[in-house]
């Protein structure tokens, strides 16, 4: 049976005798506490008069543990939502209530990104694997960049009455002889392709692959 600290703690709360040990187990999960709880479970299993009850409680605590995980996720979502609401400054609320339709749309998009970023941040510890956490962390960084740009667009629109004209992307050919740039760009493109393939963003993958082909072509010429 795989050891589960929270399940063992629930059983100790019911069958354990030492209040001091219970307080220590509740305080934090350490190697010492884990070892002591394992010893407790082994002793508990040896008690024939409690064996049937123990098995029933073990099954019940599995359900309780699952419920605790579910509750934690809900709390994390509520906490993330609260964090977002706290971050909505007076200025953003002003944009959201603007009579200008474009400003309202920009503010709504900004709020959506805030919510997603804070939700992911609050749930980072809940992901099952390091790979899932890595994907979420990269998405958080991506959203932070987008949020910064959205604020700049909002403030530019308020002053000039229009959105800033986007700069034309610099073509790869402009760096044809710059080996250092091309090698660095190659690494970035490979990472972008891998990331967006996992997200199912086919159009972005095709754009990255097209640019990567150009980069490789220029590297061969160097």
Of 162, 165, 164, which is closest to residue 103 (Cα–Cα)? Answer: 162
**What are the boundaries of each domain within the chain?**
1-72, 88-161, 172-221
Of 5, 11, 6, 14, which is closest to residue 34 (Cα–Cα)? Answer: 5
DSSP codes of every residue in 32-44 = HHHHHHHHHHHHH
Of 215, 168, 169, which is closest to residue 190 (Cα–Cα)? Answer: 215
Could you give the CA distance from residue 48 to residue 129 in angstroms, rounded to a whole number? 39
With beta carbons less than 8 A apart as the criterion, state whether 65 and 10 touch: yes
User: Would the pTM of this model clear 0.95, i.e. be above it?
Assistant: no
Task: State whether residue 15 is helix, strand or coil.
Answer: helix
pLDDT one digit per residue (tens) for the chain, 222 residues: 567 777 788 888 877 877 777 777 877 778 888 888 888 887 777 664 444 554 555 555 445 445 544 554 554 555 454 444 444 556 677 777 778 888 888 888 888 888 888 888 877 777 777 777 777 888 888 888 888 888 888 888 878 888 777 656 667 777 777 888 888 888 888 888 988 888 788 888 898 899 999 989 888 886
pLDDT score recorded for residue 136: 80
Residues 6+ apart with CB under 8 A from 51: 45
Could you give the CA distance from residue 218 to residue 191 in angstroms, rounded to a whole number? 19
Of 52, 55, 9, 44, which is closest to residue 30 (Cα–Cα)? Answer: 9
Strands (E), the chain: none
Could you give the CA distance from residue 152 to residue 210 in angstroms, rounded to a whole number? 30
């Amino acid at each position: 049976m795989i050891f589960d600290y929270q399940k063992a703690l629930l059983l100790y709360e019911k069958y354990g005798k030492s209040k001091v040990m219970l307080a220590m187990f509740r305080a934090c999960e350490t190697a010492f506490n884990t070892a002591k709880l394992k010893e407790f479970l082994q002793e508990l299993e040896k008690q024939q008069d409690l064996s049937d009850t123990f098995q029933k409680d073990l099954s019940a605590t599995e359900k309780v543990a699952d419920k605790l995980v579910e509750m934690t996720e809900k709390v994390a979502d509520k906490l993330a939502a609260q964090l977002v609401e706290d971050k909505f400054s007076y200025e953003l609320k002003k944009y959201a209530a603007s009579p200008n339709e474009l400003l309202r749309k920009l503010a709504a998009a900004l709020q959506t990104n805030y919510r997603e970023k804070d939700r992911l941040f609050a749930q980072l510890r809940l992901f099952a694997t390091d790979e899932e956490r890595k994907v979420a962390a990269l998405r958080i960084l991506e959203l932070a960049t987008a949020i910064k740009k959205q604020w700049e667009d909002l403030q530019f629109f308020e002053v000039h009455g229009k959105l800033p004209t986007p700069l034309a992307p610099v073509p790869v050919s402009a760096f044809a002889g710059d080996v250092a740039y091309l090698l660095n760009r190659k690494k970035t493109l490979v990472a972008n392709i891998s990331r967006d393939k996992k997200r199912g963003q086919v159009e972005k993958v095709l754009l990255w692959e097209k640019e990567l082909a150009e980069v490789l072509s220029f590297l061969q010429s160097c």
